[in-house]
Structure 1
Amino acid sequence: MSLRNTSSSYGFVARSLHWAIVLGIIAQYLLAEADDTERAGTVAMSALDWHVSIGIALLALAVVRVLWRTFDDTPVRSGRRETRNSSISCMKCTRCCSMF
Protein backbone atom coordinates (compact mmCIF):
# COMPACT_ATOMS: atom_id res chain seq x y z
CA MET A 1 0.00 0.00 0.00
CA SER A 2 1.38 3.37 -0.96
CA LEU A 3 1.42 6.40 1.29
CA ARG A 4 -0.38 8.55 -1.27
CA ASN A 5 -3.74 8.00 -2.94
CA THR A 6 -3.85 6.28 -6.30
CA SER A 7 -6.49 6.67 -9.00
CA SER A 8 -8.35 3.65 -7.61
CA SER A 9 -7.82 3.69 -3.82
CA TYR A 10 -6.94 5.80 -0.82
CA GLY A 11 -3.38 5.64 0.50
CA PHE A 12 -2.04 4.74 3.91
CA VAL A 13 -1.99 8.32 5.22
CA ALA A 14 -5.62 9.07 4.26
CA ARG A 15 -6.85 5.77 5.69
CA SER A 16 -4.86 6.19 8.90
CA LEU A 17 -6.18 9.70 9.44
CA HIS A 18 -9.72 8.53 8.74
CA TRP A 19 -9.62 5.67 11.23
CA ALA A 20 -7.82 7.72 13.88
CA ILE A 21 -10.64 10.26 13.68
CA VAL A 22 -13.27 7.50 13.85
CA LEU A 23 -11.66 6.00 16.96
CA GLY A 24 -11.38 9.45 18.51
CA ILE A 25 -15.06 10.15 17.95
CA ILE A 26 -15.99 6.83 19.54
CA ALA A 27 -13.75 7.67 22.51
CA GLN A 28 -15.42 11.09 22.76
CA TYR A 29 -18.85 9.49 22.91
CA LEU A 30 -17.79 6.97 25.55
CA LEU A 31 -16.14 9.66 27.67
CA ALA A 32 -19.19 11.89 27.42
CA GLU A 33 -21.35 9.02 28.64
CA ALA A 34 -18.94 7.94 31.38
CA ASP A 35 -19.82 8.51 34.98
CA ASP A 36 -17.02 10.68 36.29
CA THR A 37 -16.46 9.56 39.88
CA GLU A 38 -13.21 11.41 40.45
CA ARG A 39 -12.34 12.23 44.02
CA ALA A 40 -11.00 15.65 44.89
CA GLY A 41 -7.22 15.77 44.94
CA THR A 42 -6.53 12.78 42.70
CA VAL A 43 -3.70 13.04 40.21
CA ALA A 44 -5.38 11.05 37.45
CA MET A 45 -7.10 12.91 34.63
CA SER A 46 -10.88 13.02 34.84
CA ALA A 47 -13.13 11.95 31.99
CA LEU A 48 -13.75 15.62 31.17
CA ASP A 49 -10.01 16.30 30.91
CA TRP A 50 -9.61 13.35 28.53
CA HIS A 51 -12.66 14.51 26.56
CA VAL A 52 -11.13 17.96 26.05
CA SER A 53 -7.67 16.59 25.19
CA ILE A 54 -9.03 14.12 22.64
CA GLY A 55 -11.27 16.84 21.18
CA ILE A 56 -8.27 19.10 20.56
CA ALA A 57 -6.36 16.18 19.02
CA LEU A 58 -9.37 15.42 16.77
CA LEU A 59 -9.48 19.01 15.61
CA ALA A 60 -5.78 18.84 14.72
CA LEU A 61 -6.29 15.51 12.90
CA ALA A 62 -9.22 16.96 10.94
CA VAL A 63 -7.12 19.95 9.86
CA VAL A 64 -4.30 17.62 8.77
CA ARG A 65 -6.82 15.45 6.90
CA VAL A 66 -8.26 18.44 5.02
CA LEU A 67 -4.77 19.66 4.12
CA TRP A 68 -3.77 16.16 2.99
CA ARG A 69 -6.85 15.91 0.79
CA THR A 70 -6.08 19.34 -0.68
CA PHE A 71 -2.61 18.32 -1.80
CA ASP A 72 -3.25 14.65 -2.67
CA ASP A 73 -5.35 13.19 -5.49
CA THR A 74 -8.78 11.75 -4.75
CA PRO A 75 -9.54 8.29 -6.14
CA VAL A 76 -12.13 8.20 -8.90
CA ARG A 77 -15.21 6.13 -8.12
CA SER A 78 -17.29 5.42 -11.20
CA GLY A 79 -21.00 6.17 -10.86
CA ARG A 80 -20.82 7.14 -7.22
CA ARG A 81 -20.39 10.89 -7.64
CA GLU A 82 -23.39 11.24 -9.98
CA THR A 83 -25.64 9.43 -7.50
CA ARG A 84 -24.48 11.65 -4.65
CA ASN A 85 -25.02 14.86 -6.64
CA SER A 86 -28.47 13.80 -7.78
CA SER A 87 -29.52 12.88 -4.24
CA ILE A 88 -28.30 16.24 -2.93
CA SER A 89 -30.25 18.03 -5.67
CA CYS A 90 -33.33 16.00 -4.77
CA MET A 91 -32.97 16.94 -1.09
CA LYS A 92 -32.64 20.63 -1.97
CA CYS A 93 -35.72 20.44 -4.17
CA THR A 94 -37.69 18.69 -1.43
CA ARG A 95 -36.75 21.39 1.08
CA CYS A 96 -37.75 24.19 -1.29
CA CYS A 97 -41.06 22.53 -2.18
CA SER A 98 -41.92 21.88 1.46
CA MET A 99 -41.76 25.61 2.19
CA PHE A 100 -44.93 26.24 0.17
Structure 2
Amino acid sequence: MTHRYTSTAIFLHWLVALGLAGTFALGYYMEALPFSPNKLKLIAWHKWAGITLLALVVVRVVWRLTHRAPSLPSDMGPASRLAAHAGHALLYVLMLAIPLTGWLASSAQGVSVVLFGVWPLPDLLGKSRELGTALQNTHRILNYLLLAVVIGHVGAALQHHFVKKDTVLARMLPFLSKQ
Protein backbone atom coordinates (compact mmCIF):
# COMPACT_ATOMS: atom_id res chain seq x y z
CA MET A 1 0.00 0.00 0.00
CA THR A 2 1.28 3.47 -0.95
CA HIS A 3 1.26 5.95 1.95
CA ARG A 4 2.32 9.11 0.13
CA TYR A 5 2.68 10.50 -3.36
CA THR A 6 5.99 10.16 -5.22
CA SER A 7 8.39 13.09 -5.16
CA THR A 8 7.65 13.66 -8.86
CA ALA A 9 3.90 13.74 -8.24
CA ILE A 10 4.37 16.18 -5.36
CA PHE A 11 6.63 18.42 -7.47
CA LEU A 12 4.18 18.42 -10.40
CA HIS A 13 1.23 19.07 -8.05
CA TRP A 14 2.80 22.19 -6.53
CA LEU A 15 4.30 23.42 -9.81
CA VAL A 16 0.90 23.20 -11.51
CA ALA A 17 -0.83 24.73 -8.47
CA LEU A 18 1.51 27.74 -8.52
CA GLY A 19 1.17 28.03 -12.29
CA LEU A 20 -2.62 27.93 -12.10
CA ALA A 21 -2.70 30.57 -9.38
CA GLY A 22 -0.38 32.87 -11.30
CA THR A 23 -2.11 32.37 -14.65
CA PHE A 24 -5.56 32.89 -13.10
CA ALA A 25 -4.37 36.05 -11.34
CA LEU A 26 -2.80 37.38 -14.55
CA GLY A 27 -5.97 36.63 -16.54
CA TYR A 28 -8.15 38.31 -13.93
CA TYR A 29 -5.87 41.36 -13.78
CA MET A 30 -5.49 41.85 -17.52
CA GLU A 31 -9.22 41.57 -18.24
CA ALA A 32 -9.88 44.92 -16.61
CA LEU A 33 -7.04 46.71 -18.42
CA PRO A 34 -7.78 49.02 -21.32
CA PHE A 35 -6.50 47.91 -24.72
CA SER A 36 -2.82 48.82 -24.97
CA PRO A 37 0.55 47.38 -25.97
CA ASN A 38 1.04 46.39 -22.32
CA LYS A 39 -2.25 44.46 -22.30
CA LEU A 40 -1.23 42.66 -25.51
CA LYS A 41 2.07 41.68 -23.86
CA LEU A 42 0.22 40.35 -20.79
CA ILE A 43 -2.19 38.41 -23.01
CA ALA A 44 0.79 36.80 -24.75
CA TRP A 45 2.33 35.88 -21.39
CA HIS A 46 -1.03 34.45 -20.25
CA LYS A 47 -1.18 32.30 -23.39
CA TRP A 48 2.40 31.11 -22.89
CA ALA A 49 1.64 30.18 -19.30
CA GLY A 50 -1.57 28.40 -20.34
CA ILE A 51 0.16 26.30 -23.00
CA THR A 52 3.02 25.51 -20.61
CA LEU A 53 0.48 24.45 -17.98
CA LEU A 54 -1.32 22.30 -20.54
CA ALA A 55 1.95 20.46 -21.23
CA LEU A 56 2.67 20.09 -17.50
CA VAL A 57 -0.84 18.76 -16.85
CA VAL A 58 -0.43 16.20 -19.63
CA VAL A 59 2.84 15.08 -17.98
CA ARG A 60 1.04 15.01 -14.65
CA VAL A 61 -1.81 12.91 -16.03
CA VAL A 62 0.63 10.45 -17.59
CA TRP A 63 2.54 10.25 -14.30
CA ARG A 64 -0.67 9.72 -12.36
CA LEU A 65 -1.85 6.97 -14.73
CA THR A 66 1.46 5.13 -14.39
CA HIS A 67 2.00 5.59 -10.63
CA ARG A 68 -0.52 4.53 -8.03
CA ALA A 69 -1.90 7.21 -5.71
CA PRO A 70 -1.96 6.63 -1.97
CA SER A 71 -5.04 4.90 -0.66
CA LEU A 72 -7.76 6.99 0.89
CA PRO A 73 -8.17 6.64 4.66
CA SER A 74 -10.07 3.48 5.57
CA ASP A 75 -12.55 5.43 7.70
CA MET A 76 -13.82 7.45 4.73
CA GLY A 77 -17.38 6.54 3.83
CA PRO A 78 -18.59 5.79 0.30
CA ALA A 79 -19.96 9.31 -0.24
CA SER A 80 -16.68 10.91 0.84
CA ARG A 81 -14.71 8.54 -1.39
CA LEU A 82 -16.96 9.35 -4.33
CA ALA A 83 -16.60 13.09 -3.65
CA ALA A 84 -12.79 12.78 -3.46
CA HIS A 85 -12.55 10.85 -6.73
CA ALA A 86 -15.06 13.11 -8.50
CA GLY A 87 -13.26 16.23 -7.26
CA HIS A 88 -9.90 14.99 -8.52
CA ALA A 89 -11.39 13.95 -11.87
CA LEU A 90 -13.01 17.37 -12.25
CA LEU A 91 -9.71 19.09 -11.43
CA TYR A 92 -7.93 17.15 -14.18
CA VAL A 93 -10.71 17.74 -16.72
CA LEU A 94 -10.70 21.48 -16.01
CA MET A 95 -6.90 21.74 -16.04
CA LEU A 96 -6.99 20.28 -19.57
CA ALA A 97 -10.14 22.01 -20.82
CA ILE A 98 -9.22 25.54 -19.74
CA PRO A 99 -6.03 25.97 -21.77
CA LEU A 100 -7.64 24.15 -24.70
CA THR A 101 -10.62 26.53 -24.69
CA GLY A 102 -8.21 29.46 -24.52
CA TRP A 103 -6.26 28.13 -27.50
CA LEU A 104 -9.48 27.42 -29.39
CA ALA A 105 -10.76 30.93 -28.60
CA SER A 106 -7.54 32.49 -29.89
CA SER A 107 -7.75 30.41 -33.06
CA ALA A 108 -11.38 31.36 -33.67
CA GLN A 109 -10.59 35.01 -33.04
CA GLY A 110 -7.85 34.83 -35.66
CA VAL A 111 -5.05 35.51 -33.17
CA SER A 112 -2.51 32.71 -33.32
CA VAL A 113 -0.71 31.54 -30.20
CA VAL A 114 3.03 32.02 -30.61
CA LEU A 115 4.71 30.23 -27.72
CA PHE A 116 7.33 32.45 -26.09
CA GLY A 117 7.06 34.73 -29.11
CA VAL A 118 9.05 32.16 -31.13
CA TRP A 119 7.05 29.00 -31.90
CA PRO A 120 3.73 29.52 -33.66
CA LEU A 121 1.21 26.89 -32.64
CA PRO A 122 -1.32 25.71 -35.19
CA ASP A 123 -4.71 27.35 -35.23
CA LEU A 124 -7.19 24.72 -34.08
CA LEU A 125 -10.22 26.37 -35.69
CA GLY A 126 -11.06 28.66 -38.56
CA LYS A 127 -11.80 32.29 -37.85
CA SER A 128 -15.26 32.92 -36.43
CA ARG A 129 -15.96 35.95 -34.27
CA GLU A 130 -19.10 34.44 -32.68
CA LEU A 131 -17.39 31.14 -31.89
CA GLY A 132 -14.35 33.00 -30.55
CA THR A 133 -16.53 35.01 -28.19
CA ALA A 134 -18.40 31.88 -27.06
CA LEU A 135 -15.12 30.04 -26.43
CA GLN A 136 -13.65 33.00 -24.56
CA ASN A 137 -16.74 33.08 -22.33
CA THR A 138 -16.47 29.32 -21.82
CA HIS A 139 -12.79 29.75 -20.93
CA ARG A 140 -13.72 32.39 -18.33
CA ILE A 141 -16.56 30.31 -16.83
CA LEU A 142 -14.38 27.20 -16.61
CA ASN A 143 -11.72 29.24 -14.79
CA TYR A 144 -14.21 30.31 -12.14
CA LEU A 145 -15.46 26.72 -11.86
CA LEU A 146 -11.84 25.61 -11.36
CA LEU A 147 -11.43 28.25 -8.67
CA ALA A 148 -14.47 26.85 -6.84
CA VAL A 149 -13.22 23.26 -7.16
CA VAL A 150 -9.75 24.26 -5.94
CA ILE A 151 -11.28 26.01 -2.93
CA GLY A 152 -13.19 22.79 -2.18
CA HIS A 153 -10.00 20.75 -2.68
CA VAL A 154 -8.01 22.94 -0.29
CA GLY A 155 -10.89 22.98 2.20
CA ALA A 156 -11.10 19.18 2.15
CA ALA A 157 -7.33 18.88 2.66
CA LEU A 158 -7.45 21.29 5.61
CA GLN A 159 -10.45 19.47 7.07
CA HIS A 160 -8.53 16.19 6.89
CA HIS A 161 -5.53 17.77 8.59
CA PHE A 162 -7.16 19.89 11.29
CA VAL A 163 -10.49 18.14 11.97
CA LYS A 164 -9.98 14.48 11.12
CA LYS A 165 -6.27 14.69 11.99
CA ASP A 166 -5.35 12.07 9.41
CA THR A 167 -2.42 11.96 6.98
CA VAL A 168 -4.20 13.03 3.78
CA LEU A 169 -2.51 16.44 3.63
CA ALA A 170 0.86 15.01 4.72
CA ARG A 171 0.84 12.77 1.63
CA MET A 172 1.27 15.92 -0.48
CA LEU A 173 3.26 17.86 2.13
CA PRO A 174 5.76 15.30 3.46
CA PHE A 175 7.24 17.74 5.99
CA LEU A 176 3.95 17.34 7.91
CA SER A 177 4.52 13.59 8.25
CA LYS A 178 5.00 12.23 11.75
CA GLN A 179 7.15 9.35 10.48
TM-score by length of 1: 0.64
Tell me which of 10, 21, 32 is aligned to 1:15.
10
Q: Of the two structures, which has the highest relative contact order with CA contacts closer than 8 Å and spacing of 6 or more? A: 1
Structure (1 or 2) with the larger CA radius of gyration: 1
Tell me which of 82, 85, 89 is aligned to 2:82.
85
Identity of aligned residues (%): 30
Q: Which has the larger share of helix?
A: 2
Tell me which of 19, 28, 42 is aligned to 2:23.
28
- Name the amino acid aligned to 1:85: L
Deviations 1:27-67 (A, max 9, x none): 11221123457865x8xx81101100000011011110110
Alignment length, in residue pairs?
80
Change (3 A) 1:56 1:80: farther
Name the counterpart of 2:141. none
Tell me which of 9, 34, 51 is aligned to 1:56.
51
For structure 2, the 5+ residue unaligned runs are 86-179
Name the counterpart of 2:142. none
Name the counterpart of 1:3. none
TM-score by length of 2: 0.38
Cα displacement (A) at 1:70: 0.9
For structure 1, the 5+ residue unaligned runs are 1-5, 89-100
Aligned-residue Cα RMSD (Å) equals: 2.9
> Does the CA contact (< 8 Å) of 2:16 and 2:53 recur in 1?
yes
